[in-house]
Structure 1
Amino acid sequence: MGKGYYISKHLATAAMVLAAIALVTIIALSVVYNREKSKNAAKFSKATTLPVFPTPKTSNEPWDKYRLPDTLSPQYYNVTLWPRLVKNANGMYIFTGISGVMFTCEKKTDLILIHSNKLNLTVFKGHHAKLTGLSGVTAPAIKTTWFQSETQYLVIQLEGKLKPGKDYWLYTEFTGELADDLEGFYRSEYMENGEKKIIAITQMQATYARKAFPCFDEPGMKAVFHITLIHDRGTTALSNSQEIKTENVIIDGMAITRTIFGPTKRMSTYLIAFVVSDFTYIDAKDKKGVLVRIWARKKAIEDRQGDYALNITQPILEFFEKYYNTSYPLSKSDQIALPDFNSGAMENWGLVAYRETALLYDPRTSANGNKQRIVTVVSHELAHMWFGNLVTVKWWNDLWLNEGFASYVEYLGADYAEPTWNMKDQTILYDLQSAFAVDSLTSSHPLSRKEEEVNTPSEISEMFNTISYSKGAAVLKMLSEFLTESVFAKGLSNYLKQFAFGSSVHSDLWEYLQKAVDQTPGIKLPYSVHEIMNRWILQMGFPVVTIDTRTGNVSQKHFLLEPEAVVDRKSEFNYEWFVPIKWMKKGQVQDQLWLLQKSAIHKPMKVSKNEWVLANLHVSGYFRVNYDLGNWERLLSQLESNHQVIPVVNRAQILDDAFNLARASIINITLALRTTKYLLHEREYIPWEAALRNLNYFFQLFDRSEVYGAMQAYLKKQVKPLFEYFGTISSNWTTVPSGHTDQFTQIIALSLACSTGVEGCRELTRSWFKKWMQNPPNNAIHPNLRSTVYCNAIAAGGAEEWNFGWQMFQKATVAAEAVKLRSALACTKVPWLLNRYLEYTMNPEKIRKQDATSTIGYIASNIIGQPLAWDFVRANWDYFFKLYGTGSFIFSGLIRDVTYRFCTPFELSQLKRFQKDNAETGFGSGTQALQQAIEKTTAKIKWLEGNKEPVLQWFLSESA
């Protein structure tokens, strides 16, 4: 709802002008639009082949640039679309549409550029559009039009010039393919009660709205949208705003339904959404009357899989209204679970789209982890309703501001909805440590890149990465910590009110946070918010802070996984940061200090031999910590004598920092390995998960060498007490713990115990799976444990177990269960089964297109499957690249997954050959991931040369 917003003077003036324009023109526009609409309605039922527009060979012309010129500003659109859910005579699914956009001329020009991609535009007297002047203005005649394929523009050259300050109306008609490519306006297919169902859905982010209708497809070019959908009777149409009229009509002899939606708020094209389906819903209204609906397949709603999402949506919306101190901007909140969706979820304003696994929860078959994923994803997307949708970044180079912010506050919203889960602590695992892994490479990039670095669709897609999401979240969390949450929220609220329904850049946020600091007594910063934060967002990487407790010297250095690597990207700050350090001394919290240069003496950090220092308390800062050897020894001694004196998240920090410092050759690897010795006594999830991630890295390095056996023996010894502990408290594995994170630790205990050969574990999982095979309708395996049980049983078995798993996967009606089975099928040790499974990923009848690349990733995580998956991807790279398009998000994950194990000179040469052989085809959003894979492999080769033997000897000595 717009009610309650503070609007700046500038924005209020603009709104008044726009209102005046609307009053003068809306009647005329309605007449023009309806005349064209009725005249061309019959064309909606006719499909034509898509034409190829001439693409002039020019250089440095406006239409050769990927950014729109600043000459035109869209105000509102009228869009009518009619998706066909049956094939036409040519065997294609199509949609037809008509669109009009009112725009204001900002600067004199004789050129209109508007995005249009893969649309067949109707030709009017030799041109692909009609132009009309408004409010008595005469529009210049159209000279010529064409489609510029590389930059995806409809180019309209005029006989004369448009006049600044005047408004014009551009009208187009078009036909497009309702393909199954997961982009723009596309179709999804699924089976229900033996019947094949087709639905029409959208994914516009980042550059796909232009595939649905001609538009000014940039985030800063906001407008109001009037949407009408024509659809088959018996289906329901949804869009961003509430439907205001639904009527059954006859068009060209066809009985159909027309749904008209109310005007949207002023918004970006990438947030537009439409769905046509026969889905059903459950609903409720919040305390302020906002309609909340959960939409899904009828069977899913009947089975009450939407109940959990409905129950948490209302408290999360309530939390964000309080947190932002701003009312929810819309009158309804639709959330829909889709069978085919490339992203995990998409924050379309008022119509949020999700994969089924991110919205639907069935307590009979969904695990505790599935429930946590739903609450965090819903919280993330609802956070965007304000930060990202109400206020949007002007350009994609600042994407981190949208996604990093939502990734941070998703934990706050989830914590409010599920207060007993201790969600805030998990940011260390899912954001901070994930970001560190990428940001320690020379191929990383700053959070906020220069605009000229982000232009093409593939460059834009490449921004949707770990840096934007996870580093963005970690840096904003650090900012909130040193400002205090209340000051951070106050500045944020004023920022949102100032830029409501508009767009901004990151410096705007710094300005309003600084104002909040200035208005709050007791908050003292060494520099302004601008000066502190620009060092964190305008240069890549992060520091390792080294503390020498013998002298009190504290220093910082750019942390790189490969210490001898050369950083090509220059920084105006010389890779130095203003570092806020919270710390404790032998269990007592100390006053925060700031490290403002490369090195400084902080006398309180000089301690006696029986004291220890722990920095980055509660992991509030985005940096790693190293100590002098004496302090490391005292911390290790504390962990082994009484680990609970050290906070849970800091125990995870010590593990992760030590292993990564060792990988960077800063400390000895045996010191890092010693941090795992105390795990005999650890029962908390977060430290175990941090340890397991680092140990998994060692598994990947050594599972083809003689180190592996000794490592297995050591880890077997470490995990056995955990396995026995959960066996005891779960009545011999017949129940699950009541604590939320305890359930996750139980899974670790079972998984690691089975993989290391703890007595009784593998027999247990195989017996559970065998019982299920004997009586498939009765699956008594607890949902939490199914992933581990399925994987171990299929790995230990052969074709019989695999084929049973495949049958159960095909029959699965709950998406979360299907994912568990799809992952477990990759665990087989039989090469021909893995090769057959790889072939299935190219058949959407067997593996959905949205799941193909993640399935290949699952296979690549199997030591036997890894070379098979790598060969498969290399052999079929052209196929995948053409299938998903250059702008797809999936390529970075695919390259990362199939190269994760690489650690030999031969594998490095293969990587470089792959890069060279496919240079002409390209790598799209995977370009940077490929460079990172080369860098990581190079670093591993060098590290192994000096560390393989010490690691072997340590494991041999400790496993005896």
Structure 2
Amino acid sequence: MSQSAVMSKTFAIIFAVLTASSITGMITMVIMYNTEIGEYNVTAPPTVPSTTPAPPPIMRLPTNLVPESYSVFLRVHLYTRIPHQVNVTSPNQTLLFDGNSTVFFYCDRPTRTIYLHSKDQTVENATVRNRDQNQAIPVLQPLKFHQDQSNFLEIMLEEELKEGQNYSLFVEFRGQVSENLEGLFLSTYHEGDPKDDGNSDTDRFLAATNLEPTDARRLFPCFDEPAMKAKFNVTIIHRKGTTALGNEAKQGADSPFLQFSFKSTEMMSTYLLAFTVSELNKADAFHSDISVSVDSTTYARPEATAAGYTAYADNITGYILSYYQDYFDITYKGKLDQVALPDLGVAGMENWGLITYQEGGVLYEEGVSSWLHKGDIATLIAHELAHQWFGNLVTMKWWNEVWLNEGFATFMSFMAVCLCPPQKDVYFMSALHAAFEEDALASSHPLNPPQQQVQTTLEIIEMFDTLTYCKVRVQILLHLCSLLLFQMYLSQFQYKNVDQDDLWDNILKALQETGKEFAVEKYMKTWTLQTGFPVLTINTTSGDYSQKLALNDLVLALESPFRWFVVFNCTNDLPPMSVLQTGRREDFRSKEGEWILVNVNSTGYYRVNYDPDNWRRLLDQLATNPNMIPVINRGQLIDDTFNLARAKMVDVTLALNFTQFLSNEKEFLPWESAVRNLRYFVLMFDRSEVYGPMQFSFFFRYNQINAIQVACSNDLPECLEMVEDKFALWMKKSTPICAPSSTARLWPLEEKTEWEFAWAKFQSSNISSEKEQLRAALSCTKTIWLLNRYLEYTLDPEKIRLMDVASTINYIAQNEAGQALAWNFIRAHWDYVSQDGASLIEGVTSRFSTQFELEELEAFAAKYDLGSASRAVDQAIEQTRVNIRWVKENREKILEWFETAVDNAS
């Protein structure tokens, strides 16, 4: 076979995988972490009447009062709806909670005003006492609520609190149980076997909390900032027949009124406080092969626990806990409950001792759930368990440094789950490329922005993005310090708060312990305080090297003054770790015919551009013996060239040429890199004449695992016939289709009867992974009115759960027939969907590449209150401009390249 024919085979495989993966093959790790923050409603900027004392500047609590502990008493009215102004489920009725709390605090500096947080609550009967003198301090009425972005509750006193004295504040409060998955929220689910408890139907209610980042203030008045750690003593009264779970184990005997108190927590931040009140079942004890000294229990719907769907989660939890305890040399304290909730606004929440998950993050059914889903479960559980050390035990001081929580938890989840190097490499590289993609936009942000730029809830939520989770290159730290770094860091700061300077100090100490020298702070701050990352350009003829900001817009990149200290390694005889910014090195000069490869195994957070001769030598090596180049770098060379081409630093045909060796590639990483980058081509050209040649000759399999997926994504008659036959059998005999994710795109759902059959299966399924596959498949129809009706279904929580609204709309937007429909829909219903606005904007605008679409996007930005989607809209506008330029400059080249490939293979 000629090289051209091989090349066509390569692209047949690539685009086959691309088409199938547009719905079902997404890298779910990134989606999972991007959804770890749920919905939040933020009001207008604060206005303070001139007749009242001004609140503390920058909407941060003053530090003159130091909380030590809370006693919280809560009564949850889970099945009693009370007439109220807010329409929730039935007209003019809602669920309420009420209770009281006492916060014990220390006065560090004198004051006559107590500031703490309270939101969407009624607060009464505030009482302040001097604990040292056992005296009441009169409270001036009325209490002052700053119902703006500060959410301050201001309590004025008749006399001053004295420095060095201990005080307490008692308040009574009541609020609404939310149905927006924030604060204390309501969830419902359908139980297959109704209990004989007086209810005529099978609907079950549960209440749960989701308080990160700023929703503890919705539950009770508190000092709701991460650095204001305290201990919590919680008592809950709830309905007989339901079970309450909290951060700690219950203590004391059951009372007739089901009043439960929980043991006092460790010192922790308010956002980690959690409880559930539900009829979920405790899974049978499952003993893994690993023995850990932790009382770990999983809770889920009765049907799920009876069927054993929690067994895999129970098993993997034991392995991961054992790994972390050994690695960190710090034993996990207390009990550990993991709860699968039917509704949760995030994939998982690391509440200390009571981790909550969406059901899909815990439940696994052998034979129905995919192997990919199994990996996602393990990675998510590992991430939340890592937070028990990174985030719970040691917590960032403020939200501008939340990467100290999320970045390290992400890294450790890969380490724990992926003990086999190939798997670990896949996860690491997926995270790296996700961070590169977002960080190559001028509208990106520093990993560690100044505190004054992260003040409001909106600004805090925006910090929970791909960069926060994926930009941290901890491999460098481990290379320098090994696990001694983590052990010293966690041991020194347990139960405390940290900032990045504390981390740099610990790295320096760890280096000194091992006899190494490294300018830690000087090096690391170029990466945490500056936006973006560099492209390192190396001329292997002269030895010259330079760097510039890696942006999709080359003009802006050339104007940037940013420079980084780059820790690099190289395939020649250079020292394994060196630091450079710009200049010349004789070591970079290539000997005749030899290639040079920098950033071996992609340990550094940067791209590399070479002179044309070195690019040619690397291409020749891949063509003759690709195994001479590490597999990670084979994938990275593809990713670098495609993205350098998008920035006009190399020609797009160079990137396409770097895929030619894939016909003989057997490793996953290079294929994944090509598929992900060529998916951009599909998004840009699936509405143009370029798409035809790109689809040529889809008759080859990627590998045995993806054989059906590849064949079906090419619309092969044999595959279409097979899928239609299986679907007809499913409708006739209710025989489920094997692995629906493989063929979902080709299910015959163009007619109403078939679509509604699949919809009925979705509604009746109680298996989370199956429901996810069905929900994605329903978006693949090309029938416009069915897609429009499906979009309307997202407005009804009885049809599409609130937590699934954004992903359902994005599934429809990935369908070429549904992209414009989804864009019109989110504009028409922005008030309803805006809580997931960032995810929706990213998904729905991914194809935008025309001037008309850019103008529509700009008009949308000017018209609507964007809330926490503001940065996402800025990035979408910037990316659309890049897309317009890129398509204009590369359409003809790409068309010619693919047409030549088709002609040569004919």
Query: Structures share a fold, TM > 0.5?
Result: yes
What pairs with 1:288-307 in structure 2 (closer than 5 Å)? Answer: 289-307=293-311
Deviation larger for 399-408 or 752-761? 752-761
1:582 to 545, 563, 569: 569
Q: Which residue of 2 aligns with 1:24?
A: none
| Change in 2 beyond 3 A, CA 1:752/1:550 | farther
1:235 to 206, 230, 242: 242
In structure 2, runs of 5+ residues without a counterpart are 1-45, 84-92, 195-201
The TM-score with structure 2 as length reference comes to 0.89
- Cα distance per residue 1:373-424 (max 9 Å; x no partner): 01111111111101110010010000011101111111111124xx4x7331
State the one-letter code of the partner of 2:567. Answer: P
Q: CA deviation at 1:547?
A: 2.0
1:504 to 490, 498, 502: 498
What pairs with 1:11-26 in structure 2 (closer than 5 Å)? Answer: none
What secondary structure is seen at the aligned counterpart in 2 of 1:155? strand
| Change in 2 beyond 3 A, CA 1:648/1:219 | same
1:792 to 739, 746, 755: 746
| Change in 2 beyond 3 A, CA 1:611/1:56 | closer
CA distance in 2, matches of 1:909, 1:60: 45
Q: CA deviation at 1:162?
A: 0.6
Q: Which residue of 2 aligns with 1:378?
A: 381
Q: Which residue of 2 aligns with 1:645?
A: 628
Q: Is the 8 A contact 2:286 2:311 kept in 1?
A: no
State the one-letter code of the partner of 2:497. Answer: S
Q: Is the 8 A contact 1:543 1:558 kept in 2?
A: yes
| Change in 2 beyond 3 A, CA 1:492/1:411 | same
Q: CA deviation at 1:265?
A: 0.2
Q: Is the 8 A contact 1:557 1:598 kept in 2?
A: no
State the one-letter code of the partner of 1:113. Answer: Y
Q: Which residue of 2 aligns with 1:742?
A: none
- Cα distance per residue 1:13-54 (max 9 Å; x no partner): xxxxxxxxxxxxxxxxxxxxxxxxxxxxxxxxxxxxxxxxx9
1:851 is aligned to 2:804: yes
Q: Which residue of 2 aligns with 1:326?
A: 330
1:271 is aligned to 2:272: yes
| Change in 2 beyond 3 A, CA 1:396/1:176 | same
What pairs with 1:424-823 in structure 2 (closer than 5 Å)? Answer: 424-472=424-472, 475-481=473-479, 483=480, 487-521=481-515, 523-525=516-518, 528-565=519-556, 574-585=561-572, 591-601=575-585, 603-713=586-696, 716=697, 720-723=699-702, 725-726=703-704, 746-747=705-706, 749-758=707-716, 760-776=718-734, 778-782=735-739, 786-794=740-748, 797-823=750-776
State the one-letter code of the partner of 2:131. Answer: L
CA distance in 1, matches of 2:253, 2:545: 68
Q: CA deviation at 1:246?
A: 4.2
Q: CA deviation at 1:154?
A: 1.4
CA distance in 2, matches of 1:559, 1:566: 6
| Change in 2 beyond 3 A, CA 1:281/1:904 | same
- Cα distance per residue 1:475-530 (max 9 Å; x no partner): 2233323x1xxx24212211211111110101101101111101113x343xx111
| Change in 2 beyond 3 A, CA 1:342/1:426 | same
Q: Which residue of 2 aligns with 1:25?
A: none
Q: Which residue of 2 aligns with 1:917?
A: 863
State the one-letter code of the partner of 2:855. Answer: S
CA distance in 2, matches of 1:238, 1:610: 67
CA distance in 2, matches of 1:65, 1:188: 35
| Change in 2 beyond 3 A, CA 1:374/1:312 | same
1:57 is aligned to 2:49: yes
Q: Which residue of 2 aligns with 1:13?
A: none
CA distance in 1, matches of 2:549, 2:175: 50
State the one-letter code of the partner of 1:146. Answer: K
The TM-score with structure 1 as length reference comes to 0.84
Q: Select the structure with the greater relative contact order (CA < 8 A; seq sep ≥ 6).
A: 2
1:215 to 204, 210, 222: 222
Deviation larger for 88-97 or 751-760? 751-760
Q: Is the 8 A contact 1:139 1:162 kept in 2?
A: no
Q: CA deviation at 1:820?
A: 0.9
1:317 to 317, 321, 335: 321
Q: CA deviation at 1:608?
A: 3.1
| Change in 2 beyond 3 A, CA 1:905/1:82 | same
Q: Is the 8 A contact 1:357 1:816 kept in 2?
A: yes
CA distance in 1, matches of 2:134, 2:255: 37
Aligned length: 835
Q: Which residue of 2 aligns with 1:224?
A: 231
Q: Which residue of 1 aligns with 2:72?
A: 79
CA distance in 1, matches of 2:53, 2:74: 35
Q: Is the 8 A contact 1:104 1:167 kept in 2?
A: yes
- Cα distance per residue 1:304-333 (max 9 Å; x no partner): 1111111111111111111112111x2211
Q: CA deviation at 1:658?
A: 0.8
Q: Which residue of 1 aligns with 2:33?
A: none
Q: CA deviation at 1:161?
A: 0.9
Q: Is the 8 A contact 1:769 1:789 kept in 2?
A: no
Deviation larger for 339-348 or 891-900? 891-900
Q: CA deviation at 1:71?
A: 1.2
Q: Which residue of 1 aligns with 2:164?
A: 165
CA distance in 1, matches of 2:311, 2:558: 50
What secondary structure is seen at the aligned counterpart in 2 of 1:143? coil
Q: CA deviation at 1:851?
A: 0.4
CA distance in 1, matches of 2:869, 2:131: 46
| Deviation beyond 6 Å, 4+ runs, structure 1 | none
What secondary structure is seen at the aligned counterpart in 2 of 1:564? helix
State the one-letter code of the partner of 2:446. Answer: P
| Change in 2 beyond 3 A, CA 1:834/1:693 | same
CA distance in 2, matches of 1:927, 1:87: 39
2:817 to 855, 859, 864: 864
- Cα distance per residue 1:96-153 (max 9 Å; x no partner): 111111011111111111111111223x3xxxx1111102153432123121100212
What secondary structure is seen at the aligned counterpart in 1 of 2:232? strand
Q: CA deviation at 1:769?
A: 2.9
Q: Which residue of 2 aligns with 1:342?
A: 345
- Cα distance per residue 1:240-295 (max 9 Å; x no partner): 0111124133xxxxxx3011100000000000110011111233587453101111
Q: Which residue of 1 aligns with 2:842?
A: 896
CA distance in 2, matches of 1:190, 1:229: 22
> How many percent identity over aligned positions?
40
What secondary structure is seen at the aligned counterpart in 2 of 1:900? coil
What secondary structure is seen at the aligned counterpart in 1 of 2:627? helix
Q: Is the 8 A contact 1:554 1:595 kept in 2?
A: no
Q: Is the 8 A contact 1:429 1:690 kept in 2?
A: no
1:119 is aligned to 2:121: yes
CA distance in 1, matches of 2:785, 2:453: 44
Q: CA deviation at 1:441?
A: 0.7
Deviation larger for 574-583 or 637-646? 637-646
CA distance in 2, matches of 1:643, 1:721: 21
Q: Is the 8 A contact 1:62 1:69 kept in 2?
A: no
1:959 is aligned to 2:902: yes
CA distance in 2, matches of 1:614, 1:323: 33
